[in-house]
Structures are given as C-alpha cells and as structure tokens.
Chain A
Amino acid sequence: MSKTITIKRGYDINIKGVAERRITPLPFSDVIALKPHNFPTIIPKLLVEVGQEVLAGQPLFFDKNNPRIHFPSPVSGEVVEIVRGEKRRITEVRVLPDEEIRYQAFSVINLQEADREAIIERLLESGCWSYIKQRPYSLIANPDDTPKAIFVSCFDSAPLAPDLGFIIEQERESFQTGLQALNQLSHGHLHLSLRKERNERLTDSDIKDISVGSLHHFKGPHPAGNVGVQIHHIAPIQKGEIVWYVHPQDVIIIGRLFDEGRYRANRVVALTGACAIGPQYFNVITGQQISSLTDNRLSSEDYRLIQGNILTGATTKADDFLSFYENQLTVIPEGKEPEFLGWILPQFKKLSLSRSYFSWLTPNRTYNLNTNTNGEERAFVLTGQYDKVLPMNIFPVYLLKAILARDIERMEELGIYEVAEEDFALCEFGCTSKIDVQRIIADGLDYIRREG
C-alpha cells in the first residue's frame, strides 16, 4: 500500500450537468477531420492528397521538425478536403469515412520480450507516439529523449470531468497492455495515480495484476488530478529534466495497438454541462464532428460549447471536430446580461471562492454558472488568493510577474518548468482582478522554450 498524498489547496467547482454513467455508441459523422493545431508547435507536412484512399492508421501528415512523428487517420476512407487557413496553413485534413473501417495492419509484438527501441519504433510507425506528451511545455514527447519517469493520472478532478475509472473499466485489458508498454519505455519508472476518496471505480485491485511502476493515492480537491500537480509531489522536474505523461484513454489506444495490431481510435467522450439534455457518455471516433454529439441534445439557444472543461477547454462550434486528445464536451449558458447593482446585492446564487458571497456556507451546493466575467479586469490588488488553489511549492504571483518581465532566470528559479496552464486555471477562476493567468503562463512557457 502506497502513501496517500493529500492535496489541501484547491477547489472543486460543483456545477450542473454531470454525465450519467451510460455510454451510447454513435455512428461516424459524415466527415472526420484531423486538425494540426491540436498539436502546438508542430509544422505539418502532408502525406496524402485530396481523393486519395487511406486506411485507419495510415499517416495523413508528419511534423517537419521531427519527421518520425506522424499523425494517423482515425478512419479509413477518402481524403476529401484539405482546409487551409491564413498563409495557407493547414487547419484540417478531412476524410470521408468508410462504413466498415479497414485498418492498416501492424505485426503483433510480444511486449514481455520486446526491447524499448522496438516499442518506440512501433509507436512511431503507427502514429500512436503523438499520445505521449512531455513536461515541461506539454508537447508531444521527443522519442530520442529518456524521461525521468512516465506519469498516468487515472482520475480527472476538473469540473464535470469524465469518470476515467468508468472509461478504463470498459477496456481494462487494453489499458493494462498500454501500461506495460509505457513501463518498458520508462525503465520501470511508471507512476500511476488514483483517487483515494469517493466511489472511484478504479481500485488498487484493478491495477494489482499489472506488475508495473508505483501506485500513488491522491486525496483532495481539484487540481489533485492534474498530472503536473502529481509530478510536483512525486518527482519534481528540475531544469533539463523531462517527464512524459499519457492520458488513460490514450493508454487504452496504445494498448489496442499492441493487443490488436491496429490503430483503433475510438474514445469515450462525456457530454456535460447545464445546457446539455441528459448529459452522458458517447463512444465516438477521434475527429468526429461535434454536431453528431450535440444535435437535439442542447436545451438552450444561448449557450457556449466547450471542448474540454470549463477551466481549460476551448470554445468550439457544432460544425467543428473533436480534438485529438479530447474526452469531454461542456455546454454552459452564456452570460451577456448586465446585472443591476450586482456587486452590492447579497447574491445567494453566485459562486465565489472568497467569502464575500454566501457560497462558502453551502459547500456542497451545485451551481448553474454562466460565462459572465462578473467584473472588469484590474491590476493585481488582492494577495494570497492564488496560493489557496495552487497546491505547489511555487509563488504564483511572483512567477507571473517574472513572466511579464520576460526574466528567464527568475522564471526558472521560481519553477516555470514544473507548471502548465491548466495548473493555474483555478487561480484564474478565483482572481478578483480578472487577470488572464493561463495566458500569461502559456506566454511564459512559449517564451522560455524559444529563448531559454
């Protein structure tokens, strides 16, 4: 039994629209698309042309910076359109899916005997490599690196996040195979994190059969499930060190590759949020058009559709396509209505991390939050606010100021390599001055990656 790590600083935002544990398989949408901008910093080079027939698992494009990393088609069918944006940058590669998927076959390798190189080669060849990401910077890992460790966070603590235990349960064998492959990549430094409390479906016994890595239990509110927070508490990243991490759903896809010898990109996506009718899980294919999940399932006209959760997701539209790594869609009401004297009235229905509203008296209440900013942007005024929701040994405001000052040495000293935008999402949520904390962190990481 491993030690339990308790996270004290954080907050669970309870909002309406938790997905019911029910998975509905959906047919393919008319068109499936892969979007290069799901992979920040890569420069896509096409490997297919319009009209060409592709198999599932056949690469559509590769990264010019690292030609070994390519991005596979989730389905078989005909490439129907290459959508380009500004400066002819490729924004989408659209494929018309066959009714019955034909897979590119990869020979099965025996994981027990295979060496690390062979596994890497197979992952690269199949395109599954792009599921392995690295910290710092949250980018696709470089196959030439040897990571200090590999992390898999088996629970998501974000608002309305899908229950990963429930998803893993559907394909436990593939998950276990995937973990085995990762264990081999990590030279045995594979870390799994489970949630200690609540009725998590995933328990020690589920993982026990897999004789890999070390198991950690986390207790406490969001962002306890963030892999960055877990890394910080288990094996903090120093300058020059690299840690890899994989999402459990992607571990399953990697597992299928080794079990079935094919790239089968089905994933379970949760439709959540106050504007979703009957929020639940769907079994879809990577790159599925979003309208196929949301049509006739939205209750209001004035909503915002988000790929991901309300803290870190991106605004999207129904005719857009599911992102490569996506596990969740959230639909919440927009909040464009000005509110008369909203800052003076007692306001019993509003949620605040501060105690200037009454929400702190009812910690278990569920809220229907909209996208109103609830105030205007100001300079930093209040102090100690961010520290309450950032469970890391980091001084958030000083790090942010070092970033704004573009002071690389200071950023390094204050721990920029350990953080990602998502770790600061709650700071941004609770910020009295409405500062774009995540954007500043992203700018800082981007700056230090280019200049550092």
Chain B
Amino acid sequence: MKFIRNLVDSVKPNFEKGGRFEKLHPAFEAFETLLFVPGHTTSSGVHVRDAIDLKRTMFMVIIALIPTMLFGMWNVGYQHYLAYGMEVSLLDNFMFGFWKVLPIIIVSYSVGLGAEFIVGVIRNHPISEGYLVTGLLIPLTLPVTIPLWMVALAAIFCTVLGKEVFGGTGMNFMNPALLARVFLFFAFPAFMSGDIWTDLSPEAGHALVDAYSGATNLVTFDANFTKLPSISDMFWGFEQGSIGETSAFACLLGALFLIVTGIGSWQIVVSCVLGVLLMGSLLNGLAPADIPTHAMHTPAYSHLLMGGFAFGAVYMATDPVSAAQTEKGKWIYGLLIGAFTVVLRVFNPAYPEGVMLSILLMNVFAPLIDHIVVEQHIKNRKRRA
C-alpha cells in the first residue's frame, strides 16, 4: 500500500496546476480517489463526517447486482445448451455464459467510462462514480447476442446525452442505463426483439432441437397466457430474456441487500409490486369471459415474475436521482410504474417490455409528483398556523 501511495504521489505533480498533464487532472483524480479515500479534512460546518460516500453507495449497488450477473451468465449457457438439447455441467453452462457476457461488460465499462472521462476533462469537472453502476446495468438489460459496437454506442449515448449534458450524476432526470436500453430498442429493433434471446452459435454435431422457440414469456403470454413457463421456472429464472433479468430470485436477493443497507428505497420496490398486483387484479376482473386465454386473464402475480419487472423494480426504479424524492411521492411513483407495466404488457404487444417504458415515463413524471407532494406539505404547514 505504501508502495502504491508513493507511486501515486510521485506522478501527482504532473497532473497538478502547472504540471505537464494539468488538463487531465479530473482523470487522474478519479483514479487516485478510486485507490485511496482522500485525506481531505472538514473545513467548515461539522467536524466529523459519516463514513459513507457516493463511491461506497455505488459499490453497494454493484454487490446487489452480483447475484443477477452470476445467474445471468449461467443462464446464458443453460439456454444455449438447452436449445441444442445438450446436457452439460453447471460449470460448463456458467463458463459458456461467462465468456459471452464478459466482453459486453468490458465494452460497456471501458466505452462508458471513456466517454465520462473525456467529458470530465473537457468540462474540467470531477468524474463521478455513477457510471460504476450504470456500466454493469447496461449489459444485464441486453440480450446476450447484442453486437458489441451497439453496446458501445448505447454506453456513449446514455453517458453523454442521458447524463453529462444535464451536468453529470445527480442532475439527470432519466435513468441512464435504462436510456441506453431504450435507445437500442428503438434504434435497432431487430437486435432487441425476436429470436435473439439465446446465443445460438453452432455446436459441432448438434442441431437445434425441434421444441426450441425464441419467444420470451412476454411474447408468449400475449397470445395465450396459459402457455407461460411454470411459475417456478419464472421465479428461478430458467427462461429466455435479457442477461440479468430472468431470475426473480436473484433480483429478490439484490432487493434484500439494497433494502437492508438502506441504499435502495423499500417504498419504491414495495409500491411497484403493489401497483402490478392491483392493476393485474383489476384487469382479471375486467377480462372478457368468452376468451379464456386472453392476456387480461393472466394472474397478477405472474406479472411480477415475467420479463424484466423484478429487475426494473429493484435496480432501475430505485435510482434515487431519477425517482420521486419525497416519501409520499415514492409510493405514488412506484404504484404507477407497476400499474403502467401491466397496462403496456397487456394492451400494447408492440412494446412487450412494459417495465422499461413505464419506468422512463415515471422518471419524467417524478418531478411533477414531487411538486404535488411539496405543495400539499406547504398547505399542511399553513393549516397548522
């Protein structure tokens, strides 16, 4: 450690004011503070500070993402070998997925962080740690077959147009990772829907099994909800979908971690779930009785397990920057996300992934929700007089 510190200190003058690489100071500082919590001391106000900072916060979210990432890697392999009717070991499944997913993660991080560093250097502002999480979220929301250059494009788009143009982490009004996904979804629909969910790179001596179908459960249920995979498959995640989204169980682990550490808002997670259950039940009640397979008949709890709802509710909706910020506002925000997710899924087959669009929609409405809550608060304060 002493050695690393000395090394950092020895190159530091080059990046200080008047140094050779003065312009690269934000980039250097980002690296330095990644290695060392700086020895800054309080100068005004409180003399001691809580141990938490934004880096720690982001690190907690990364830990919460690990279950979905590991499961996603395994599932990529599992789906691949399933399509070819091959039985392989747990490790083989995982390693197949690992080598498929790793490049996507590396591209996402390196390109996104690169974009962030460039903007930081050009505008001479400190590089924030927000991308540590975004960089992992993007791959987990994409199909494994996505071309790497698209990942790169999405990372640049969401960093520059989703965040930096507004002033960086904390100033954006939409979740950057979700913005990356929605960008790819509309720009390259052929790569984001259809038979793209399973990696079908050829296996020598094996052909695709007849039972293979590339349809995700979101497409299946729209035609005939009784054809959905079993509840347990959907819960554990033995199904096709984006890399990280399939396992509701892994998302649940992440949710527990985020809620216990207090980093994610439990109000948002719970209200998203409630929103889905309420809207799902309402649609059950209104469903046409003469078409027993109609999507409106889908049991409300299936919506919790289908598609990316669990992933979205746990990791995307809880993003504190783009979510509602008041306590009451968080409940309204979550309920509406849940409700819109079900509505979009059931009534708009063109956009099967309802949760992505409804979170982005509520990101836009969050300031309005907060405004109403604050106005109400002010009224209550006046009434107290």
Which A residues are closer than 8 A to B by beta carbons?
13, 15, 236, 238, 304, 306, 310-313, 315, 330, 332, 334-344, 347, 350-357, 359, 369-376, 378-384, 387, 393, 395, 397-398, 413-415, 421, 425, 428-434, 436-439
Q: Which of B39, B42, B171, B323 has most A Cβ within 10 Å? A: B42
Contact yes or no, A376 B168, CB < 8 A: no
Contacts of A434 in B (CB 8 A): 49, 53
Are the C-beta atoms of B169 and A373 separated by less than 8 Å? no
Q: A342-B36, A439-B45 given. 20 additional CB < 8 A pairs?
A: A13-B48, A338-B39, A350-B51, A351-B50, A352-B50, A352-B52, A354-B52, A354-B262, A356-B52, A356-B263, A371-B47, A372-B39, A372-B40, A375-B56, A380-B170, A383-B265, A421-B45, A428-B46, A432-B52, A436-B44
Mark contacts of B39-75 with chain A using CB atoms, 8 A cut-off: 1 yes-contact digit, 0 otherwise. Answer: 1111011111111111111011000000000000000
A394 to chain B, nearest CB (A): 8
> B50, A371: Cβ atoms under 8 Å?
no
Residues of chain A contacted by B60 (CB below 8 angstroms):
356
Q: Is the CB of A352 within 8 A of B167?
A: no
Q: Is there a chain A Cβ closer than 8 Å to B128's Cβ?
A: yes
Minimal beta-carbon separation of A98 from chain B (angstroms): 36
B317 to chain A, nearest CB (A): 13
A304 to B46, CA, bound (A): 12
Q: How far is the CA of A273 from the CA of B209 in the complex (A)?
A: 73
> Across the interface, do A382 and B320 meet the contact criterion of CB distance under 8 Å?
yes
The verdict on B325 contacting chain A, using a C-beta distance below 8 Å, is: yes
Contacting pair B327 A387 (CB below 8 A): yes
By the criterion CB–CB under 8 Å, are A341 and B35 in contact?
A: yes
B169's partner among A339, A376, A381 (CB-CB below 8 A) is A381
Q: How far is the CB of B32 from chain A (nearest CB, A)?
A: 8
Inter-chain CA distance A355–B51, complex, in Å, is 10
A352 to B47, CA, bound (A): 15
Please, how many angstroms separate the alpha-carbon atoms of A378 and B125 in the complex? 11
For A351, A384, A397, A421, which residue has the most chain B Cβ atoms within 10 angstroms? A384
Instruction: Say whether B327 contacts A384, CB under 8 Å.
Output: yes
Contacts of A15 in B (CB 8 A): 48
Given contacts A335-B41, A383-B265, contact A374 B53 (CB under 8 A): yes
CB pair A379 B59 closer than 8 Å: no
Of A338, A356, A431, the residue contacting B38 (CB under 8 A) is A338
Nearest-neighbor residue (CB-CB) of A241 within chain B: B385
Tell me if B45 and A428 are in contact (CB < 8 A): yes
- Which chain A residues lie closer than 8 Å to B330 at the CB level? 384
Is B325 touching A397 in the complex (CB atoms < 8 A)?
A: yes
The complex places the Cα of A238 from the Cα of B47 at a distance, in Å, of 32
With A315-B47, A352-B51: A343-B59 Cβ-Cβ less than 8 Å = yes
What residues on B are CB-neighbors of A429 within 8 Å? 46, 48-50
Report how far A243 CA is from B380 CA in the complex, Å.
Answer: 22
Chain B nearest Cβ from A17, distance in angstroms: 12
CB-based contact B260/A375 at 8 Å: no
Given contacts A342-B37, A372-B49, contact A432 B57 (CB under 8 A): yes
Give the distance to chain A from B289, nearest Cβ to Cβ, in Å. Answer: 44
Q: Give A360's nearest chain B residue, CB to CB.
A: B262
* Closest chain B CB from A12 CB (angstroms): 14
Q: Is the CB of A336 within 8 A of B50?
A: no
By beta carbon, the residue of chain A nearest B29 is: A376
Q: How far is the CB of B130 from chain A (nearest CB, A)?
A: 8
Please state if B261 and A413 are interface contacts (CB–CB under 8 Å): no
Q: Which residues in chain B, 331-381, are within 8 Å of chain A measured between CB atoms?
A: 374, 377-378, 380-381
* Cα distance, A304 to B260, chains bound together (Å): 35
Q: Within the complex, what minimum Cβ distance (angstroms) separates B266 from chain A?
A: 11
Within 8 A of A (CB), among B240-281: 260-263, 265
Q: Specify which of B41, B55, B57, B261 is in contact with A373 (CB 8 Å cutoff).
A: B41
The answer to whether residues A304 and B57 also contact, given A352-B52, A374-B52, A384-B265 and a CB cut-off of 8 A, is no
Chain A proximity of B355: nearest CB distance (Å)? 21
On chain A, the residues within 8 Å of B374 by CB distance are 395, 398, 414
Closest B residue by C-beta to A367: B48
Contact indicator B1/A378 (Cβ below 8 Å): no
Which residue of A310, A335, A393 has the most chain B CB atoms within 10 A of its CB atom? A335
Smallest CB separation, A405 vs chain B (Å): 14
Asked if residues B54 and A383 are in contact (CB atoms below 8 Å), the reply is no
Q: Which of A372, A428, A437, A438 contacts B37 (CB 8 A)?
A: A372
* Nearest A residue (CB) for B126: A376
Q: A340-B4, A356-B57, A357-B52 are in contact. Are A371 and B381 (CB under 8 A)?
A: no
Given A338-B36, A340-B36, A384-B265, A371 contacting B327 (CB threshold 8 A): no
* A311 touches which of B44, B47, B265 (Cβ 8 Å): B47
Known A379-B171, A380-B170; contact A332-B36, beta-carbon cutoff 8 A: no
Residues from chain A with Cβ under 8 Å of B4 in the complex: 340
| Contact partner, B321, options A313, A341, A381, Cβ 8 Å | A381
A selection of 19 A-B contacts at a CB cut-off of 8 Å is A304-B41, A312-B46, A339-B39, A341-B36, A343-B53, A351-B51, A356-B60, A357-B56, A372-B37, A372-B40, A372-B41, A374-B50, A378-B54, A379-B168, A381-B320, A384-B327, A429-B48, A432-B52, A432-B57
Instruction: Tell me which residues across on chain B come within 8 A of A304, comparing CB atoms.
Output: 41, 47
B33 within 8 A of A: yes
Cα–Cα, bound, A384→B168 (Å) = 21
Question: A304-B47, A393-B381, A414-B378 given as contacts; is B42 within 8 A of A371 (CB)?
Answer: yes
Q: Say yes or no: A375 contacts B46, CB within 8 Å.
A: no
Interface centre among B40, B130, B325 (most CB of A within 10 A): B40
In angstroms, Cα B59 to Cα A336, docked, is: 23
In Å, the complex CA distance between A434 and B261 comes to 19
Q: Tell whether, in the assembled complex, residue B37 and residue A310 are in contact, meaning their CB atoms are under 8 Å apart.
A: no
- A332 interface neighbour in B47, B260, B263, Cβ under 8 Å: B47
Beta-carbon contact of B47 and A310 below 8 Å: yes
CB-nearest residue of chain B relative to A372?
B41
The answer to whether B168 touches A343 (Cβ under 8 A) is no
Q: Which residues of A contact B323 (CB under 8 A)?
A: 383
A145 vs B378: C-alpha distance when bound (angstroms)? 28
Q: Which of B49, B168, B321, B381 has the most CB of A within 10 A?
A: B49
Which B1-48 residues sit within 8 Å CB-CB of chain A?
1, 4-5, 33, 35-42, 44-48
- Whether A347 lies near B51 (C-beta < 8 A) is yes
| Complex Cα spacing A343 to B47, Å | 20
- Given A310-B47, A311-B46, A434-B53, is A356 in contact with B262 using a C-beta cutoff of 8 Å? yes
- With most chain A CB atoms within 10 A of its CB, the pick from B42, B50, B382 is B50
Which A residues lie within 8 Å of B126 (CB)?
376
Whole-angstrom CA separation of A324 from B42 in the bound complex:
24
Nearest CB of A to B119, in Å: 15
Bound: A312/B40 CA distance, A: 19
Bound complex: CA of A28 vs CA of B128, how far in Å?
52
Q: B326 near A: Cβ within 8 Å?
A: yes
The 5 closest A-B pairs by CB, nearest first: A375-B53, A379-B170, A342-B37, A350-B51, A338-B36
